[in-house]
Copies of this chain bind each other. A is one copy, B any other.
Amino acid sequence: MSIQQHRSAETRQKIESAALELFSANGYDATGVADICARAGISKGAFYHHFPTKHDVFLSLLDHWVTSIHQSLAAPPEGSAAEVLRSMPDIMGRVLADARGRLPIFIEFWRQASRNPVIWQAAMAPYHLFRNYFAAIIQRGIEDGSLRPVDPQAAATTLVSLAVGLLLQGTLDPTREDWAAASQNSIDLFLHGLEAK
């Protein structure tokens, strides 16, 4: 990477960090390009060199989140389907650690998603990723005889719903429970209903 490329990447990073802070603190609507530039310590020219609009910065932040989720699912651990599913709380722990303190920006994602179809598509992408990931694991478990012959897509929907509910509560209300223990207990209960006897 040339010095110029390095500086360009650094500017982009500064814009995104500033936008993340301001969208979280004040909301998307109340944040202008001028505010982002002031916080990032850059000129408007530099901003528009990287992003055509404020909306594109927002989509880029959302995209980073989806990519980080995708990466955390990229390498499913070795082992039987039941073992892989039992490791789900570890994956969720990583997603939750990543989400910690970022509730305001997630709320901003949903808020904008409920108003804008492009953001909506991007915000829904993680659910599809998760469901297909778990459906494939459950399918494998049914084929190797370790799981009951359930509908893999339907069981994956249950599992994703459980994960979404645990993550939402763990993010909204982190101190109410030991959410790591609750995740472990929930997956054990789920597997108890799924494992072949």
Report which A residues bind B (CB closer than 8 A): 27, 29-30, 103-104, 107-108, 110-111, 113-115, 123-124, 127, 150-151, 154-155, 157-158, 160-166, 168-169, 172-173, 176-177, 182, 185-186, 189-194
Residues in chain B near residue A127, CB distance under 8 A: 169, 173
Cβ contact within 8 Å between B182 and A158: yes
Q: Main secondary structure on chain A at its contact with chain B?
A: helix
For residue A164, which residue of chain B has the nearest CB?
B165
Q: Which of B103, B157, B182, B185 contacts A186 (CB 8 A)?
A: B157
A114-B172 Cα distance, complex, nearest whole Å: 7
In the A-B complex, list the 9 residue pairs whose CB atoms are closest, starting with the nearest: A193-B193, A165-B165, A161-B165, A192-B193, A164-B165, A158-B186, A161-B166, A154-B185, A107-B111
Q: Which of B114, B163, B177, B190 contacts A190 (CB 8 A)?
A: B190
Residues in chain B near residue A158, CB distance under 8 A: 162, 182, 185-186, 189-190
A115-B150 Cα distance, complex, nearest whole Å: 43
User: Closest approach, in angstroms, between the C-beta of A177 and any C-beta of chain B?
Assistant: 7
Cβ contact within 8 Å between B150 and A161: no
9 A–B contact pairs at CB < 8 A? A27-B111, A104-B114, A110-B172, A124-B173, A157-B185, A161-B169, A164-B164, A165-B168, A190-B190
